Amino acid sequence: MYANDVKMSWEEVIEETRDFLSEEFEVDRDLILPENSLKDTLDLDSLDYVDLVVLIDENLNIKLTGEDFKEIVTFGDFYQLVRKKLAL
Amino acid sequence: MSQRVVITGIGIYSCLGKNLGEVTQSLYAGKSGIVFDQVRKDFGFRSALTGMVEEPDLKNYLSRRQRVGMHQPAVYAYMATHEALALSGLDIDFLEQTETGIIYGNDSTAASVVEAVDKVREKHDTTLIGSGAIFQNMNSTVNMNLSTIFKLKGINFTLSAACASGSHSIGMGYLMISQGLQERVICGGAQEINASAMASFDGLGTFSVREAEPEKASRPFDRDRDGLIPSGGAATVILESYEAAVKRGAPILAELIGYGFSSNGDHISNPSIDGQTRSLQMALKQAGITTSEVDYINAHATSTPVGDGSEARAIFEVFGGDVPVSSTKSMTGHECWMAGASEIVYSLLMMQNSFVAPNINFENPDEDSAKINIIAETREQTINCFLSNSFGFGGTNSTLIVKKI
């Protein structure tokens, strides 16, 4: 698979995602676990989802929309969405 | 019944220093904050001179959500306001439970607009601009950010009046309080420092090109001046009713006793002696003082022949030639939207420390400046009452008078 124009394994995509989410939203990386809530862990409000779309585009080169997040509760759900968009 | 209006807090973040202590030292020493900026030269500026203010990292002060909508004007204004609130003894808990307003001067957000539009040009997709841009791009960026951060519950709007924005913001706060509509208003002025903000101004050919001697380039009232130098940062002035200030035991730094204003109704960029004189006279009348009671005038003078000459004639017409005058823009350059507020802060620091800061680089007078008493070297002097002028494009004039209490 390709993320950010570099060939990466799925595990590497997850680790990179944890890195940029942790850095941007200033939360402990260890809290970004598949079973944890995306919204609560990152303390997201409606505006933050706009920035999440930008971050995903910049880091994974995937275009998401606000609609894509409707069914997302956990980081695990989010990773599956990313996997689907990467067509893996 | 008219309320007395006092100043209970000031804060400054400018090319003369990042806090009141540093700025006081610079003012006393007659230190210039002007530098040569290669970025501007490479960008295509006619003059690469500017006042330079480092952009602070607010990570230690604010959350990501609080920071994301802030660009230079709001960032600088936060630093100045943080200092002013601390000096005034105001914390967020108190602000949240009382009615405190904010009227802040700002008249551009150029760099943030350029950055946002460039992103759309690159991506062809507005959803990739990010959530912060709209709050950075609007001219009311300082107000919307600071009122949110500091939980302000009173009057809340931005005042745009070109290079008199900061001064009029204080004037408006003064009117709000004197009329009994607010107990406390945070006033001030912010000015971004970047190539995008000043390119069109540079294009008018009004900036000094004395690039080999940045510190000597800003020379208000001097015969050999060749133009102004842009600058920026932010200054905050907290106004409060005398009654409210006494009630909470706030430090009372001085009393604001007069606000005069006028419009030239004439040329868009040329000053008017008539307009400036009317502003001066209105402020004096409102303050109920005579010209002999003013110990110091902080002039607007920016280092342009037409502007300086006009102000010198207006001062001479109203005050005669005795009152000490200096333009702190000789050290700071022209802080534009911020200048009217920063010059109140600079003058208050002089009042508190009993000196008149010098009009540096004033070496030879011209016909107009020879008639007034320009202070070229730091002078130890008691200041019980000072007057500060601010004039802007479109012929907007503002005059504030402050008295020791």
If you search the block for the tokens 């799925």, which residue do you land on?
A10
- HSE of A84 in the Cβ direction (CA atoms, 13 Å)? 8
Residue B174 CA to residue B182 CA, distance in Å, equals 9
pLDDT tens by residue, B312-353: 999 999 999 999 999 999 999 999 999 999 999 999 999 999
Quote the Cα angle for B288-B388-B380, to 5°. 100
Closest CA to B80 of B53, B101, B107, B99: B53
B326 phi, psi to nearest 5 deg: -145, 155
Task: Give residue for tokens 């868009």.
Answer: B268
- The alpha-carbon gap from B132 to the nearest alpha carbon of chain A, in Å, equals 8
Cβ proximity of B200 and B336 under 8 Å: no
HEC-encoded secondary structure of B369-386: HHHCEECCCCEECCCCEE
Name the residue type at position B177.
I
Q: How far apart are CA B390 and CA B239, in angstroms?
A: 19
* The model scores a pTM over 0.90: yes
The percent of residues in chain B predicted with pLDDT above 70, rounded, is 100
Q: Which residue, B80, B74, B402, B9, is CA-closest to B235?
A: B80
Do B142 and B73 form a contact (C-beta atoms < 8 A)?
Answer: yes
How many Cβ atoms sit within 10 Å of the Cβ of residue A59?
Answer: 17
Amino acid code (one letter) for B205: G
Length of chain B (residues): 405
Portion of chain A with pLDDT greater than 70, in percent: 91
Q: What is the model's pLDDT at position A3?
A: 53
Contacts by residues A56-59 (CB-CB < 8 Å, ≥ 24 positions apart):
A56/A82, A57/B123, A57/B128, A59/A3, A59/A4, A59/A16, A59/A17, A59/A20
Instruction: Nearest by CB to A50, from B123, B125, B131: name it.
Output: B131
Concatenate the DSSP letters of all residues of B61-95 into one string.
TS-HHHHTT--HHHHHHHHHHHHHHHHHT--HHHH
* Domains of chain B, earliest start first: 5-247 (3.40.47.10), 259-403 (3.40.47.10)
Mean of all residue pLDDT scores within chain B: 97
Q: Residue B269: CA atoms inside 13 Å, Cβ hemisphere, count?
A: 6
Q: Does A88 touch chain B (CB under 8 A)?
A: no
Edge-to-edge strand ranges of the sheet holding B385-392:
B156-159, B100-105, B184-191, B233-241, B5-14, B254-263, B396-403, B385-392, B296-298, B324-326, B373-374
With beta carbons less than 8 A apart as the criterion, state whether B241 and B220 touch.
Answer: no
Nearest CA distance, B139 vs chain A (angstrom): 20
Q: What is the mean pLDDT of residues B93-110?
A: 97
* A4 pLDDT higher than 60: no
> How far apart, in whole angstroms, are the C-alpha atoms of residue B355 and residue B364?
23
User: pLDDT digits over B307-317, tens only?
Assistant: 999 999 999 99
The model's pLDDT over B277-317, given as tens digits with 9 standing for 90+, comes to 999 999 999 999 999 999 999 999 999 999 999 999 999 99
- Asked if B130 is an interface residue toward chain A (Cβ–Cβ < 8 A), one would say yes
Q: What pLDDT was estimated at residue A66?
A: 85
Closest residue on chain B to A48 (Cα): B131
Residues of chain A in contact with residue B128, where contact means CB-CB under 8 angstroms, are: 53-54, 57
Question: CA separation (Å) from B278 to B229, B261, B285?
Answer: 27, 7, 10
What domains lie within chain A, and their CATH numbers? 2-85 (1.10.1200.10)
Report how far residue B147's alpha carbon sits from residue B159's, in angstroms, rounded to the nearest whole number: 14
Name, in order, each residue with C-beta under 8 angstroms of B40's C-beta and a sequence gap of 6 or more. Answer: B47, B48, B50, B195, B198, B202
Distance from chain centroid for Cα B190: 7
B168 a catalytic residue: no
**Is-catalytic flag, B82?**
no
Residue B58 CB coordination number (10 Å): 17
Catalytic site residue B187? no
Chain A, nearest residue to B62 by Cα: A26
Which of B76, B47, B56 has its CA nearest to residue B141?
B76
Q: Which of B63, B123, B131 sits opposite A47 (nearest CB)?
A: B131
Chain B partners within 8 Å of A24 (Cβ): 64
Q: Which of the residues B15, B82, B163, B385 is marked catalytic? A: B163
pLDDT confidence bin for B276, thresholds 50/70/90:
very high
A positions 13-72 inside 8 Å of B (CB): 24-26, 43, 45, 47-48, 50-51, 53-54, 57, 63, 65
Kindly give the residue spans of alpha helices, DSSP state H, lying in B153-265. Answer: 165-178, 195-202, 214-217, 242-247
Q: How far apart are CA B101 and CA B110, in angstroms?
A: 26
Position A5 scores a pLDDT of 53
Measured CA distances, B174 to A32, B101, B181, B253, B255 (Å)? 51, 12, 10, 15, 10
CA separation, residue B58 to residues B53, B67, B81, B270 (Å): 15, 7, 13, 39
pLDDT per position as a tens digit, B216-240 = 999 999 999 999 999 999 999 999 9
Q: What is the pLDDT of residue A1?
A: 47
Per this entry, what is the length of chain A? 88
CB contact under 8 A, B132 and A51: yes
pLDDT at B103 over 60: yes
| CA separation for the pair B97, B183 (Å, rounded) | 13
- Average pLDDT (B208-221) is 98
What's the whole-number average pLDDT of chain A? 90
- Which positions in chain A touch B129 (Cβ < 8 Å)? 54
Query: A64 vs chain B: nearest CA distance in angstroms?
Result: 10
Q: Return the sign of the alpha-carbon dihedral for residues B402, B21, B33, B45.
A: negative
Provide the ipTM: 0.89
